[in-house]
Amino acid sequence: MTVKVAIVEDQEQARSHMKECLDYITEKEGTQFAVTEFENGLEFVSEYKAVYDIVLMDIEMPGMDGMAAAEALRLMDESVILIFVTSMAQYAIQGYAVDALDYILKPVNKYSFAIKMKRALGRITKRTEEYISVKCDGEIRQLEMAAIRYLDIDGHYIVYHTLSGDIAEYGTLKEACSKLNSAYFVNVNRSCVVNLNHVNAVSRDCVTVGEVRLDISRPQRKNFLAAMSVFMGKNR
């Protein structure tokens, strides 16, 4: 796994040192990092795309400081891991307002840096078990599996019907199901898969997910009802 890291820091020497710290982790743990550097908060925000796993953000920067940049970041990306890097701990304490995972004090010590990053990497590992990557409108988005109500086929696209809206991705249902890799997702017919956690009602010929009624095909009926029975037994 290659972890994508954005370093937002106005001092070149500080950016170089953080890259050396990441190299140290690679040497010790084998984790690979792809690093993108930004010299200030405004550059980072104006060019931001939700492709990073971790953002290392200096707080004290000219122009747009790290806290303002973090607030703008959260309007664009609620899930990326944010770690503040600062020489003044009292500023970092404000990080709860922008859901910062942690803060690293300057001057950065590679050993304490590695400890902080280990926590962040653990969060990423857990997230990969709960999220899938979906390509939509030319961007890769992280989609929480628990939020997917059902998915179906629309031409050459798979539509993920989620709690916050629909997301379409070019591909096949088989490819989508291989990413989900969960017993909670079960076929109701050859073009539709439902998340059992979101099923409201089941009859012989259809299943209700939210306010949507979906047909259960004859070939899938036995397998779906068996899966539903096991699911209900586990969740009594």
Q: What is the pLDDT of residues 89-137, one digit of tens each?
A: 776 677 778 889 999 999 999 999 999 999 999 888 777 667 888 988 8
Q: Output the pLDDT for position 146.
A: 83
Residue labelled with tokens 């653990």: 122
CB 70 within 8 A of CB 98: yes
**b/e per residue, 80-115, with b = 16+ CB within 10 A?**
bbbbbbbeeeebbeebeebebbbbbbbebebeebbe
- Who has greater pLDDT, 146 or 156? 156
Comma-separated ranges of CATH 3.40.50.2300 domains in the chain: 2-131
Please name the helix (run of DSSP H) or strand (run of DSSP E) that holds residue 194, with its range, or none: strand 192-195
Most confident of 97-101, 162-166, 190-194: 190-194
Please check whether the domain covering 2-131 is classified as CATH 3.40.50.2300: yes
Least confident of 1-15, 116-130, 145-159, 194-208: 116-130
pLDDT at 236 over 60: no
Where are the domain boundaries for CATH 2.40.50.1020 in the chain? 145-234
Q: Which fold is adopted by the domain 145-234?
A: OB fold (Dihydrolipoamide Acetyltransferase, E2P) (2.40.50)
- pTM of model > 0.85: no
Residues 6+ apart with CB under 8 A from 50: 76, 77, 80, 139, 140, 141, 142
